[in-house]
Structure 1
Amino acid sequence: MSSNVDPLVVGRVIGEVVDLFVPTTEMDVNFGAKHVNNGCDIKPSMAADPPSIHIGGRPSHLFTLVMTDPDAPSPSEPSLRECLHWLVVNIPGDTDPTQGEEVMPYMRPKPPLGIHRYVLVLFQQKVRVPAASIELSPETVETRAHFNTRDFADRHDLGMPVAAVYFNSQKEPMNRRRH
């Protein structure tokens, strides 16, 4: 399974968002009929609704899903890195995020400038984490900016990721948006 990490290195997800890890859990991500592979292009209009995600593992396992944009507001000047797009805790294994507790609701990609990476990182929890106990900085709560996946994982004793995938997205011309 370690070959799955290589595109994360090339895409600078490993290094900028998470440290090198070995994937141990399957995570299948789809926007409609479009399967998300590392580095694929997803139009913002295709990602208006949360992706359907199937998480492997045993039903007795619990997972945390984090989705961020490490390129906000612009890939050349990511001064708001990381913008938090979605945070769900207590997702049972062999299910999907709708079975967990949403801490931060899904926010569709809205890349204002350039090609942005949107990263979905999965952590296996050691224990159930009450959603109400998750503390985010006031700025992250208000603007979703300056979230840090590594710091979040450290604060909540999540350890290394067990899966991750990223896709690219860029602003669509007005006349080409899907309805």
Structure 2
Amino acid sequence: MSSTVSKSIWSNFSKRSQSLSLKNKALKTALLSPDLPFGPASLKKRSSKAQYNSPIGLSEIYPLAYQILEQESVDCYKRIEKIESKISTTQDQTLKEELNDLKQQLLVDAEINNPEVIYNANYATNSLDRTQPVYRHYLKEQWKSYSRMLTMQRLESLSVIPDTLPTLDPQVDVQLKFPHNNVERWIEPGTLLSSNATCKPPLLEIVEFKESKNDLYTVLMVDPDTPDLTNDSFSTTLHWGLKDVQLSNEDPIIDAKKLVENPDYEFIEYLPPVPEKNTGKHRLAIWVFRQNEKLSNVTETSREFFDIRKFTEDHNLVPIGAHVFRSIWDRNTENVRETYGLPKGRIFTRERL
């Protein structure tokens, strides 16, 4: 690494996390060397590297810009120290929360222009340390630029909103996949899945963009397309119900292992989608709620004719995220029904008048 690049706060990890640095030494050297002595890392051929010439003036401008940005970071950390001192002495809980919010924002400001952080945020998104506010900031911006809009578009175009709940102001990124069949891919909202793919519970990841330490969550998976012949309409079936699920920035996953270790999380066991023949595509909506306290009086919740709006009102739950996939009858559906001890599905036909 060139000695002309400042070695101040961004090189000091006594109080900063090592995750704010690049692990790959070669990349780090290339990123922080103003004159790129070996050429850009994108150049693979030795001849190309030998012919490379750094842009005129870069070796003078880069260290100066780095030094200015690093000094801004130093100033932010000085303000953070003063705020931490105030937090430790104040007894006012409201003031503590305000000061902590300010501290979180300053932690973002202190690292947002760090070249190593920027590189990690753009090229190592799957391994980011989500306990660091600056990485959560970058993840949130990426989510808002695409995934958030896609999810809302699917929820509204498929009429999950308002057929289940009236509205949603997304605060978290809800991702799901079904790893039991070795398909290690995240499901895009609105995807039509086979009965084999959904025969076992999904793995859920709830990505918080705020500081999260052991927050509690409720998850409801509902199908609003269950035929109701008595009323010549449709009813909602609760396919899965989780409560008091403890998650954090470090541990955002709900999987089979966690449910086995915490059997109290599941108040309604997972029932896979098993649409009856000729009932069309069923929407399976996964709603996520952040709890203020532990839920009570949910053991008597009925799976059939589930009223999700009443449930959320009774338990003071406000949705913070959602996902949706679809299911339709296929040749494997009856096998899934048999596995779960369900009666044979009906076959619906049109009546000719």
Please confirm whether the aligned pair reaches a TM-score higher than 0.5, indicating the same fold. Answer: yes
Q: Percent identity?
A: 23
The structure having more radius of gyration, on CA atoms, is: 2
CA distance in 1, matches of 2:218, 2:233: 25
Asked if 1:107 corresponds to 2:271, the answer is yes
The equivalent residue for 1:146 is 305
Query: Deviation at 1:145?
Result: 1.4
The equivalent residue for 1:55 is 206
Asked if 1:158 corresponds to 2:317, the answer is yes
Q: Is the Cα–Cα contact under 8 Å of residues 283 and 324 in structure 2 kept in the other structure? A: yes
Return closer, same or farther for 1:21/1:41 CA change in 2, 3 Å cut-off. Answer: same
Q: Scaled by the length of structure 1, what TM-score is found? A: 0.83
Q: Is the Cα–Cα contact under 8 Å of residues 70 and 78 in structure 1 kept in the other structure? A: no
Q: Normalized per residue, which structure has more strand?
A: 1
The equivalent residue for 2:288 is 122
Query: Deviation at 1:19?
Result: 1.6
CA distance in 1, matches of 2:240, 2:233: 18
Query: Deviation at 1:29?
Result: 0.4
Q: Is the Cα–Cα contact under 8 Å of residues 53 and 96 in structure 1 kept in the other structure? A: yes
Query: Is the deviation greater in 45-54 or in 25-34?
Result: 25-34
The equivalent residue for 2:47 is none
Q: CA RMSD in A?
A: 2.3
Q: Scaled by the length of structure 2, what TM-score is found? A: 0.44
Task: Name the aligned partner's letter for residue 204 of structure 2.
Answer: I
Q: Normalized per residue, which structure has more helix?
A: 2
Q: State the secondary structure of the residue aligned to 2:288.
A: strand
Consecutive unaligned residues of structure 1, counting only runs of 5 or more, are none
Q: Is the Cα–Cα contact under 8 Å of residues 5 and 22 in structure 1 kept in the other structure? A: no
- The higher-RCO structure (CA 8 Å, 6+ apart) is 1
The equivalent residue for 2:48 is none
Q: State the secondary structure of the residue aligned to 1:47.
A: coil
Asked if 1:86 corresponds to 2:240, the answer is yes
Query: Deviation at 1:135?
Result: 5.1
Q: Decide which of 95, 99, 115 is 2:253's aligned counterpart.
A: 95
Number of matched pairs: 166
Query: Deviation at 1:174?
Result: 5.1
Return closer, same or farther for 1:174/1:158 CA change in 2, 3 Å cut-off. Answer: closer
